[in-house]
Copies of this chain bind each other. A is one copy, B any other.
Amino acid sequence: MDGRIDEHEIESALLAGNPLGDSHRRPLWVYTPPGYDGGSRRYPVVYLLLGFTGRLEAWRNRGPYREPVPETIDGVFAREEAPPMILVFVDAWTAYGGSQYVDSAGTGRYHSYLCEEVVPWVDAHYRTLAAREHRAIAGKSSGGLGAMITPMLRPDLFGAFATHSGDSLSEAQYLPHFFAAVRDLRAYDGDIFRWWDDFRSRVAFTKQEDLRLLEILGVSACFSPGADGTPELPFDPRTGAIREEVWARWLRWDPVRMVPEHADALRSQRAIWIDAGVRDEWFLDLGATAFREALTGIGVDSTVHFELFDGGHVGVEYRQPLALAWLAERLSP
């Protein structure tokens, strides 16, 4: 790489004593582009969020005939195909595999951690253009959720975002998996915590139901913790009947449904990239379309890049550098 990735660990006051006992010392990686060192120029910044079960190391994973996202975008900057930016790789891992980038009594204050601790830390330690006009957020899957909702909640911090196959239109994304999970849970007497005990006692992901049940349990921890923080499922695990009150808590985090109440925040965004694969296993192509239509409904149009591409949910990380290059043009002074 022509640029460089610094691996930091920051201590989060907000995550100290989080309900799952996850560490409050958090890895944080910062990429600086070619030319950063020894210069004095300030750069736009994009915060990159991972999908469910993602950890920072995943940015380094390497598959055949492809290069990791950081290397691809580094090449884009090195060849001056887009203005250079600083990239920040954010960690929000929990014992259940993720945080959905929200503040939750079930997992911890990951939204606040990102906005109130990570962003200031980066601005303090790097030559950023420390203003919303030059600060964006991007991610895939659950990271796409974070990229949609964080600027809605904190438009003072973020002025652009990119969502790839991002969580949205919750009924399409989740309900088919809930019904399948009911069948999975027959082997566990309908008790997801029996599965969880089993999952932790053996090599992970050796049963076909593991990923589905982990996601349901983990998102429940984020969106619908009980009074004591225990995840509450939004469906009856024996019949699949939707528990409307619990489900309503999930729907509060559906970006499609959040659009109207955050219309000003969204209208203030300078650039919004939305894409998804037409065969997405969580129907996030429908979610992307619904989110885009919701934006149209509040008059957000010319700032949007929308694209459905041929693909599913897996193996589509190559989309991220495309959006980063597009954002770079719009975030640079």
Q: Which A residues contact B (CB, under 8 angstroms)? A: 53-55, 57-58, 60-66, 97, 169, 171-172, 175-176, 179, 182-183, 186, 203-207, 236, 238-242, 256, 278, 283, 285-286, 289-290, 293, 310-311, 315, 318
What are 24 of the A-B contact pairs (CB < 8 Å)?
A: A53-B65, A60-B60, A60-B61, A61-B61, A61-B62, A61-B63, A65-B204, A65-B205, A169-B240, A172-B179, A172-B240, A175-B175, A179-B283, A182-B286, A186-B278, A205-B315, A206-B310, A206-B311, A206-B318, A236-B293, A239-B293, A240-B283, A240-B286, A241-B290
Residue of B nearest to A204 (CB): B65
Q: Closest B residue to A56 by CB, please name it.
A: B62
CA gap between A278 and B240 in the complex, in Å: 13
Residue of B nearest to A183 (CB): B278
Partner of A66, one of B97, B205, B289, B318: B205
> Residue on B with the closest CB to A205?
B315
Chain B's nearest CB lies how many Å from the CB of A314? 10
> Cα distance A204–B238 when bound, in Å?
30
How far is it, in angstroms, between the C-alpha of A314 and the C-alpha of B179 when the chains are bound? 19
User: Are A290 and B169 in contact, CB atoms less than 8 angstroms apart?
Assistant: no
Q: With A203-B318, A204-B64, A204-B66 as given contacts, are A293 and B238 in contact (CB-CB < 8 Å)?
A: yes
Partner of A289, one of B55, B172, B238, B315: B238
- The 8 lowest CB-CB distance pairs between A and B, nearest first, are A65-B204, A53-B64, A239-B290, A240-B286, A176-B176, A61-B61, A57-B62, A203-B318
Say whether A64 contacts B97, CB under 8 Å: yes
Shortest beta-carbon distance, A49 to chain B, in Å? 15
Q: Which residues of B contact A204 (CB under 8 A)?
A: 64-66
**CB within 8 Å for A169 and B241 given contacts A53-B64, A205-B66, A315-B205:** yes
Residues of B within 8 A of A310 (CB): 206-207
10 further A-B contacts with Cβ under 8 Å, apart from A64-B204, A179-B286, A239-B290, are A54-B64, A60-B62, A63-B205, A64-B97, A171-B241, A175-B175, A175-B176, A182-B286, A239-B293, A240-B283
Instruction: Please indicate the chain B residues that have their CB under 8 angstroms from the CB of A63 in the complex.
Output: 53, 58, 61, 205
Q: Which of A63, A169, A172, A176 has the largest number of chain B CB atoms within 10 A?
A: A172
Distance (Å) between the CB of A286 and the closest chain B CB?
4
Q: Is the CB of B61 within 8 A of A240?
A: no
Kindly name the residue among A62, A205, A238, A256 whose own CB sees the greatest number of chain B CB atoms within 10 A: A205
Residue numbers in B under 8 Å from A315 (CB-CB): 205-206
CA distance A206 to B65 in the complex (A): 11
Of B55, B66, B256, which contacts A241 at CB under 8 A?
Answer: B256
Cα of A238 to Cα of B290 in the assembled complex, Å: 8
* In contact, B62 and A239 (Cβ under 8 angstroms): no
